[in-house]
């Protein structure tokens, strides 16, 4: 499908500024019609969505529930080596089938009128299908095969299970591109061990959070903890890698390469410069070299709403679920590796204090989107400026750049026909 031809009649009258992706009209964070169009064209359109790790559903019948945009989905291991992704909505009258985050079923049975489905979503039985004592029941020509659960396309990569509503989107690895797949293979080269999961509500449009993730410029300015303890500064070696669509990105840096001399950090002109603080217990930041490449921080985003995080030895996958125009829910799954020693496991748990809703680093990311949302108002007319690092969409050797944010908008506009 040519995405530029895909604009639906319902798409709102947003005129993109003539400057292109170096401007973003604030209306994209507030428009209810655009939100509805995103559900149809983006989330139920030409994207792949991460649903979970294969090890979260190890046995046949194990399931977890997830979301693709506002559509509830069940990921289930439906055979020894196969997964099904099913819309979590009964084909009878639309009731939710599975309420739990995770569980085990031999079949999916609806509590409302007891219609039952196989693990691959086929309708298997309908209560009182033949009526009672030969009276009532379904019409003679009722065809079970017409009332299966909606099944999605599923593919896996490195133990990560993705699904899509689209029959036409490219296979997963083509959708991600070679650079993004290579980074996933780097992170997920070893069997994973799940450490825990949680979610947090953000009072902002979902795209404001995705911009924040792709914005390497803000990290050492907004997050005082990072610069105070010299964990991540723009004076470290690093860069931005974008895929061809611009929608996916990797931001990376090497902590051992910090040469801050002569920068704004050393001149003390930044709010983020706090030289007089020391941690009483330095174990909070204890770490070891995880990879041979020297990269200590790597944030990867996969369009539209997934993040793979390496902050020293703290790893997580995050998935963002829109919950209305001005709200979204961020799901975190923290992980280590099966081969971790007990000490490495403890270190990862300690480092987990850096991230999450109360994380020493990421706490501010939970509110800064709302700082924008509350300032632009309900019917905004202004626009954001994205000129750091130029006006183009390309990989860069500097992280003093908004190139990956511009890349997000380039990809978004193509999907949305804006």
Q: Contact residues for Fe ion (CB under 5 A)?
A: 365
> Which of 1, 93, 106, 196 is the binder for ligand FES (CB under 6 A)?
93
Using rule CB under 6 A, residue 388 touches ligand FES: no
Using rule CB under 6 A, residue 331 touches ligand FES: no
For ligand FES, give the closer residue by CB, 115 or 409. Answer: 115
The answer to whether residues 232 and 253 touch, using CB atoms and an 8 Å cutoff, is yes
Tell which residue, 199, 200, 208, has the closest CA to residue 369. 208
Using rule CB under 6 A, residue 7 touches ligand FES: no
Number of chain positions touching ligand FES (CB under 6 A): 9
Using rule CB under 6 A, residue 115 touches ligand FES: yes
Using rule CB under 6 A, residue 112 touches ligand FES: yes
Q: Which does 185 bind (CB under 5 to 8 A by kind): ligand FES, Fe ion, none?
A: none
Q: Residue 292 corresponds to which tokens in the numbers above?
A: 């041979």
The answer to whether residues 207 and 29 touch, using CB atoms and an 8 Å cutoff, is yes
Using rule CB under 6 A, residue 104 touches ligand FES: no
Lookup result for tokens 């990072």: 226
The residue range among 34-42, 109-117, 301-309, 397-405 that interacts with ligand FES, by the rule CB under 6 A, is 109-117
Residues 181 and 79: their CA atoms lie apart, in Å, by: 26
> Which of 113, 129, 185, 374 is the binder for ligand FES (CB under 6 A)?
113
Three-state DSSP state, 194: strand
Using rule CB under 6 A, residue 95 touches ligand FES: yes
In the chain the first and final C-alpha atoms are separated, in Å, by: 16
Residues 299 and 361: their CA atoms lie apart, in Å, by: 14
For Fe ion, give the closer residue by CB, 63 or 225. Answer: 225
Three-state DSSP state, 342: helix
Q: Which does 365 bind (CB under 5 to 8 A by kind): ligand FES, Fe ion, none?
A: Fe ion
Three-state DSSP state, 379: coil
Count Cβ atoms below 10 Å from residue 18 Cβ, excluding itself: 6
* Interface contacts to ligand FES, rule CB under 6 A: 90, 92-93, 95, 110, 112-115
């Amino acid at each position: 499908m040519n995405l530029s031809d895909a604009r639906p009649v319902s798409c709102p009258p947003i005129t993109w500024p003539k400057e292109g992706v170096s401007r973003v009209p604030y209306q994209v964070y507030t428009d209810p019609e655009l939100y509805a169009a995103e559900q149809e064209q983006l989330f139920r359109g030409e994207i792949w969505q991460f649903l979970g790790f294969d090890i979260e559903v190890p046995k046949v019948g194990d399931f977890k529930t997830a979301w693709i945009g506002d559509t509830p989905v069940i990921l289930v291991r439906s055979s020894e080596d196969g997964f099904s992704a099913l819309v979590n909505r009964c084909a009878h009258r639309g009731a939710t089938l599975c309420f739990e985050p995770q569980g085990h079923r031999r079949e999916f049975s609806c509590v409302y009128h007891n219609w039952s489905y196989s693990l691959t979503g086929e309708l298997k039985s309908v209560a009182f299908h033949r009526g009672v004592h030969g009276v009532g029941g379904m019409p003679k020509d009722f065809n079970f095969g017409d009332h299966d659960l909606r099944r999605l396309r599923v593919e896996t990569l490195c133990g990560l299970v993705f699904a899509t509503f689209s029959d036409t989107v490219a296979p997963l690895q083509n959708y991600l591109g070679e650079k993004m797949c290579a980074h996933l293979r780097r992170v997920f080269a070893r069997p994973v061990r799940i450490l825990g999961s949680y979610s947090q509500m953000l009072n902002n449009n979902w795209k404001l959070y995705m911009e924040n993730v792709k914005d390497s410029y803000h990290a050492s300015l907004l997050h005082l903890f990072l610069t105070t303890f010299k964990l991540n500064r723009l004076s470290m070696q690093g860069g931005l890698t974008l895929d061809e669509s611009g929608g996916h990105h990797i931001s990376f840096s090497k902590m051992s390469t910090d040469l801050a001399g002569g920068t704004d950090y050393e001149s003390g002109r930044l709010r983020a410069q706090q030289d007089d603080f020391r941690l009483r217990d330095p174990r909070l930041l204890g770490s070891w070299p995880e990879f041979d490449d020297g990269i200590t921080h790597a944030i990867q985003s996969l369009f539209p709403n997934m993040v793979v995080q390496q902050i020293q030895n703290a790893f997580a996958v995050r998935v963002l679920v829109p919950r209305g125009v001005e709200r979204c829910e961020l799901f975190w799954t923290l992980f280590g590796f099966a081969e971790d020693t007990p000490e490495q496991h403890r270190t990862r748990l300690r480092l987990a204090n850096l991230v999450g809703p109360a994380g020493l680093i990421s706490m501010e990311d939970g509110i800064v989107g709302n700082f924008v949302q509350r300032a632009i108002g309900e019917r905004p007319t202004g626009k954001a400026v994205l000129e750091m690092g130029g006006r183009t969409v390309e990989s860069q050797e500097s992280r003093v750049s908004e190139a990956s944010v511009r890349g997000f908008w380039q990809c978004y506009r193509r999907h949305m026909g804006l």
